[in-house]
């Protein structure tokens, strides 16, 4: 599907890596979360500073320092800590979490270098120093929207890209009932599982992974549809016992996994 921009990067080792670029939507979600966290942190900082200022004012006579000097110091300290928080948040997280901040983690995106290496301190610093400029008049927004590699000014300067994390890596464990495992053994004797196409197996796996979130009615329809299709593929005239479509699919999944594990065992 051409809905998301993709990019192929050739690493110095001549390996070609494919990435899907983050997209403006995910970057907006990440920004939203990061700026909310930052705003809360700034508020805490402000309250802390006010508290400190009042405490120091009480001590003023005791310390024997002039009020103006003290105020200047306080304001200066506050400005520095403000700047440190704004820059430090992005630099710290992006360096420590290999190109991710809490917002990017939620939006399932990450910053990488143009040569697909992980982002380091240098790139993270450049990106966050340019961030205020990108925010002014939506400059960064238009840059991301209009450039084919979705780079804002900070990305141009630091030589970085923002890409999506492969969604397939985050799979939930699939619960397979004891009964289905037993049936899987029977099915393996009855039918040749190599007739199942990898695509269809992937569909079965996706169904089993996602069925908890599906409505009762849809589960019935989808499982029946898939079970019928796979039963035809396996040329199964009769089933070993009576079972629901869900059990049949669980058994197929389990059997296919066992078989794959066995053949791998023979190979290596």
Partner 1 sequence: MAPSDSRPGQLGPLNPGNVVSAGLRLYRDRFKMYLKLSAIAYLWLLGGVLGWALVTVALGGLLALIGNEVLGFLGVGIGLLLGLAPFLYGIAQFFMLSAVMSRLAFQQLIDQPETASVAQSGTKPKLWAFLKLGLLILLLLTVGYFALGIVATILGLLVGFLTGGILSAVFGSDIGAAFGVALGGLTVVAVVLIGLVWLVSRLSIAEVPLAIEPEITASDSISRSWNLTKTSVLRIQFVVVAAFLITLPFVVLSSYLPQIFMFRLGVGSTAYWTLYGVNLVLSFLGGMVTMPLWQTVKGVLYYDLRSRREGLDLQLRPSTDY
Least distance to partner 1 from the beta carbon of 140, Å? 11
Residue 24 in contact with partner 1, rule: CB under 8 A: yes
Supply φ then ψ for residue 146, to 5 degrees. -100, -15
The answer to whether 225 touches 207, Cβ cutoff 8 Å, is no
Specify whether the CB–CB gap between 156 and 235 falls below 8 A.
Answer: no
123-138 burial code (b ≥16 CB/10 A, e <16): bbbbbbebbeebeeee
Do residues 106 and 161 touch, judged by C-beta distance below 8 A? no
Among 25, 88, 96, 132, binds partner 1 (CB under 8 A): 25
Parallel, antiparallel, or unpaired: how do β-strands 6-10 and 16-20 relate?
antiparallel
Which of 126/140 has CB closer to partner 1? 140
Q: Is 96 in the site for partner 1 (CB under 8 A)?
A: no
Structural tokens at position 171: 């799979």
We find the least distance from the C-beta atom of residue 75 to partner 1, in angstroms, to be 30
What residues between 114 and 173 interact with partner 1 by CB under 8 A?
A: 138, 141-142, 164, 167-168
The answer to whether 201 contacts partner 1 (rule: CB under 8 A) is yes
Q: Cβ 84 to partner 1, closest distance in Å?
A: 26
Query: Which residues bind to partner 1, rule: CB under 8 A?
Result: 1-4, 22-32, 107-109, 138, 141-142, 164, 167-168, 197-203, 205-207, 210-211, 213-215, 218-219, 221-222, 225-226, 229, 232-233
């Amino acid at each position: 599907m051409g809905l998301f921009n993709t990019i192929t990067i050739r690493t110095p080792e001549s390996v070609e890596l494919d990435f899907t670029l983050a997209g403006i939507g995910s970057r907006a979600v990440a920004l939203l979360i990061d700026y909310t966290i930052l705003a809360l942190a700034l508020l805490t900082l402000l309250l802390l500073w006010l508290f400190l200022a009042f405490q120091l004012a009480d001590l003023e006579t005791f310390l024997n320092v002039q009020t103006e000097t003290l105020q200047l110091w306080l304001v200066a300290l506050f400005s520095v800590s403000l700047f440190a928080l704004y820059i430090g948040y992005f630099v710290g997280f992006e360096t420590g979490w290999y190109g991710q901040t809490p917002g990017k983690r939620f939006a399932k995106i990450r910053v990488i270098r143009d040569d697909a290496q992980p982002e380091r301190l240098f790139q993270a610093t450049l990106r966050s120093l340019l961030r205020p400029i990108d925010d002014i008049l939506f400059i960064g927004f238009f840059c991301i929207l209009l450039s084919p590699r979705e780079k804002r000014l900070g990305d141009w300067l630091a030589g970085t890209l923002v890409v999506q994390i492969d969604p397939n890596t985050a799979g939930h464990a699939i619960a397979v009932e004891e009964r289905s495992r037993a049936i899987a053994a029977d099915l393996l004797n009855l039918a040749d599982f190599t007739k199942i196409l990898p695509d269809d197996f992937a569909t079965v796996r996706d169904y089993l992974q996602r069925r908890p979130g599906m409505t009762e009615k849809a589960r019935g329809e989808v499982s029946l549809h898939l079970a019928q299709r796979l039963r035809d593929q396996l040329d199964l005239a009769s089933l070993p016992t009576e079972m629901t479509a869900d059990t049949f699919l669980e058994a197929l999944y389990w059997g296919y996994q066992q078989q794959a594990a066995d053949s791998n065992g023979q190979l290596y």
